């Protein structure tokens, strides 16, 4: 039910919202910074599998953890991202205490999430992309 509500919200926002591309990365076993900083609380995340045979037959599947890095050196809690067929809207606000201190600019980071880590190399996972867009 929650996924349905997110889909409905994503469809509605797609029609009336302005989305700014933050970046798109191939998810890996290491933390990666997205190329753009953001000042937003609402994001549209799109996951794209690069090779369906690898995903469905030959290699390990994975999800990802998304977090935000702040100028004071802190990072948000990890948010688990599942690979799904439709773009999904996430509400990921800046924590209240950081907002009060003026830390509203942040940089998204992602890393692969799998029960097979850290014992499985990059080549044994099916590759997929994570695209982030911010609502402006």
Place of tokens 């509605």: 12
Superfamily of domain 2-135, CATH level 4: C-terminal carbohydrate-binding module (2.60.120.1380)
Residue 84 neighbours by CB distance under 10 Å: 14
Assess whether pLDDT exceeds 60 at residue 10.
Answer: no
Place of tokens 């940089």: 107
Give DSSP secondary structure letters for 8-59: HHHHHHHHH--EEEEEEEE--SS-EE-SS-B--SEEEEEEEES-HHIIIIIS
**pLDDT tens-digit series, residues 29-86:** 999 999 999 999 999 999 999 999 999 999 999 999 999 999 999 999 999 999 999 9
**pLDDT tens-digit series, residues 100-126:** 999 999 999 999 999 999 889 999 999
Please give the Cα distance from 67 to 21 (Å, whole number): 17
């Amino acid at each position: 039910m929650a996924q349905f509500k997110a889909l409905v919200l994503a469809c509605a926002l797609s029609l009336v919202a302005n989305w700014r591309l933050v970046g798109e990365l191939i998810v890996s076993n290491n933390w990666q910074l997205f190329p753009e900083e953001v000042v937003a609380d609402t994001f549209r995340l799109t996951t794209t599998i690069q090779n369906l045979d690898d995903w469905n037959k030959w290699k390990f599947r994975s999800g990802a953890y998304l977090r935000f890095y702040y100028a004071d050196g802190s990072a948000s809690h990890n948010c688990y991202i599942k690979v799904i067929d439709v773009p999904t809207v996430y509400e990921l606000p800046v924590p209240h205490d950081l907002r009060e201190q003026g830390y509203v600019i942040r940089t998204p980071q992602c890393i692969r999430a799998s029960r097979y880590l850290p014992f499985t190399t990059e080549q044994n996972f099916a590759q997929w992309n994570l695209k982030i867009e911010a609502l402006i």
